[in-house]
Chains A and B, each alone.
Chain A
Amino acid sequence: MIIAEHLQKTYSVKVGKGLKTEKQQIRAVKDISLQIEKGNIVGLLGINGAGKTTTIKMLTTLLAPTAGIYTMDSIDAIKYPKEVKKRINMIAGGERMIYWRLTAFENLWYFGQLYNIPNNILKKRIEELFDLVGLKGKENVPVETFSKGMKQRLQIARGLVNDPEYLFLDEPTIGLDAVVSKELRQHVKYLAKQQNKGILLTSHYMGEIEELCDYIYLLNDGILIEKGTVKELANKTFHRKNYLLNIYNTTNDILDTLVTILKSIDPSVIIRQENDGVHINSKDSMSLELSRICTVKGWYIKELYEQEPCLEDTILQISKEV
């Protein structure tokens, strides 16, 4: 398991002031603690400049934290970064992190050599990876002739060449078409759930995070401001409940009766009639009451469900509050 506690990172930056330059300290990450368990997909969210990239760089040992504790499977990752490097890999969005002048095969072979993978194992793994990312038949084609999507597929293969125990995905689907993005999401799920890899994912696509992540950390200005599952985050953010009730042959009388009964239960309730049914916003859970009222009154329910806020709504709401 990855455990990071109170990670901090301060950069020294030279700022030009006329002819002179002045050193300034920028605290990119002020205090971030997180955990990644094997078999889980953890999301790291935040608006631009929140400290996501710096956090990933510290977790992948590319940058040493200024302060904090970071362990991976009980190994002190700050003291022994080489041991950590053997267990991890990173896939970033875009077309970089691969050599354009080499062929697809040569790229994977070269990175395999850097990870010291025995050549017989490496050859078999490369074949499997080409199958997996759909680049079979393109092994000996120079990367510079690849399309953006193909380069990204190769980058995914590169990130898996050392069969890492933990995988860091930094905006992996940026610029990819819908089909490749879907394939990648399916594969990320497979890696976590079937191959027991711990995965950290950052993405600007909320749908992606919502679909994949078991747990989410939300950063703002270098600080962890919220954490939890999608549902937990929504519950923490939205304290009121939303229901949609659709009754067959709804009349004004039915609506007036419903308002009177619901107001007697919760005076703060907000009810509005729309094309798809009656939208009810209440302080407490009301699903039982609503079904009981309909049964007692003999109204036939077409639809009744609690409307869960989507992750995007939750993040937008949290952003407004901070």
Chain B
Amino acid sequence: MDLQILIGILKKNLLTQYRAYPMSFFVGNILTGLYTVLGAWFMYKLLFEGRLSSDFFELTKTNDYMGYVIVGSLTYLFVVRTCLNVSRSLITELREGTLEALMLAPFKRVEYFLGNMLVQTMTTTMEIVISLFIAIPFGLNLSNINLSGFIVSFFIALYAFFGVSMILGCIMLYTRDTYISQNTLFAFLFLVSGITFPTKYLPEWLNICANFIPITEGVILIRNTALLGMGIEDLLYSYMKVFVLSTIYIIVGFGVMKRCEEAALEKING
């Protein structure tokens, strides 16, 4: 890992993002979080009148549905932003005509993607912190948070998001499509990753699918530390599971990405 290259990519991306997307983009992202929370609040309070099914507590170890949804939604926002920034990075280079210049340079891909990941982590963390304050009136209670467990879970979850974004990046670069692939995946992840309800409510086959997506366990880790106060020692098995699953995604992603890059370069004037 070369720090000079990593810092170069980080600085370039921050400058590009700052110039390309003014404050409205930042506000738009916060509003997305707010709308998701608001939607869940209306559903819970007005449609279901604050009633939860009897097995909700058994599955989630909490009766705080609003806290459950808010943490899930804000984590999902992180997933979306990681996918938008990391997965779209190479196809954006292709569209802007800089892919060849980039590929001519002797850097490692891991430095490039990590640089992109770091930028999005910094900007999204700022957005999430603001969103957290907005979410408090809707019933978010973080008084039980286990800080050390939360920090470890946060980084493990980031690793999971990175793995998924690598696979999505391959699909985008190969198909040269961003809209259909990203929106389909986002809708699928929202449905199966336990963002607004436990995955056990899903049909059995979809529940099995959800278990093979590292984001599902990543969301559980964030919730368990932020809402239930679980510590590192309580979550070792989950950490291991997310780490192994995400590593598989990353290895497959990097392997396939090489082929996708070549296919993309072949298509330029080819």
Contacts and interface: CB of A to CB of B under 8 A. Distances in A.
Interface string B91-104: 00000111011111
Interface string A260-285: 00000000000000000000000000
Interface in A67-99: 82-83, 85-86, 88-90, 92, 94-99
Contact of B104 (A64, A88, A96): A88
B16 A113 contact: no
Contacts, number: 88
B155 interface: no
Contact of B12 (A61, A95, A99): A99
B248 interface: no
Given A63-B265, A142-B19, A114 B97 contact: no
A146 interface: no
The main secondary structure of chain B at its interface with chain A is: helix
Interface stretch (A16-24, A33-41, A100-108, A216-224): A100-108
B5 A102 contact: no
B265 A62 contact: yes
Contacts of B101: 90, 96-98, 111, 158
Given A28-B270, A113-B8, A62 B16 contact: no
State which size class the interface on B falls in: 20 to 34
Given A97-B100, A102-B15, A106-B15, A116 B20 contact: no
A100 B101 CA distance: 13
A242 interface: no
B105 interface: yes
The main secondary structure of chain A at its interface with chain B is: mixed
A299 interface: no
Given A100-B96, A101-B15, A113 B262 contact: no
A53 interface: yes
A114 B102 contact: yes
Chain A CB count within 10 A is highest, among B8, B15, B100, B101, for B101
Given A53-B269, A57-B265, A62 B9 contact: no
A60 interface: yes
Contact of A116 (B5, B16, B262): B5
Nearest to A86: B106
A74 to B, nearest CB: 18
A11 interface: yes
A152 interface: no
State which size class the interface on A falls in: 35 or more
Interface string B19-56: 11000000000000000000000000000000000000
B106 A11 contact: no
A47 to B, nearest CB: 15
A64 B262 contact: yes
B2 interface: yes
Contacts of B11: 110
B187 to A, nearest CB: 26
B5 A90 contact: no
Contact of B4 (A11, A86, A90, A113): A113
Nearest to A62: B265
B96 A60 contact: no
A174 B16 CA distance: 28
Nearest to B7: A113
Contacts of A113: 4-5, 7-9, 12
Contacts of A83: 106
A54 interface: yes
B269 to A, nearest CB: 5
B105 A92 contact: no
A142 B20 CA distance: 12
A117 to B, nearest CB: 9
A86 B12 CA distance: 21
Contacts of A54: 270
Nearest to A161: B105
A23 to B, nearest CB: 13
Chain A CB count within 10 A is highest, among B4, B100, B103, B104, for B104
Contact of A97 (B8, B97, B107): B97
Contacts of B4: 113, 116, 119
11 contacts: A28-B270, A62-B100, A85-B104, A110-B12, A112-B8, A113-B8, A114-B105, A115-B105, A116-B4, A116-B5, A142-B19
Nearest 7 CB-CB pairs, A to B?
A113-B8, A96-B97, A114-B105, A85-B106, A97-B101, A110-B12, A82-B106
Interface of B: 2, 4-5, 7-9, 11-12, 15-16, 19-20, 96-98, 100-107, 262, 265-266, 269-270
Given A89-B104, A116-B4, 14 more contacts: A53-B269, A54-B270, A62-B103, A85-B105, A90-B101, A97-B100, A99-B98, A101-B19, A102-B15, A110-B9, A113-B5, A114-B5, A114-B105, A115-B106
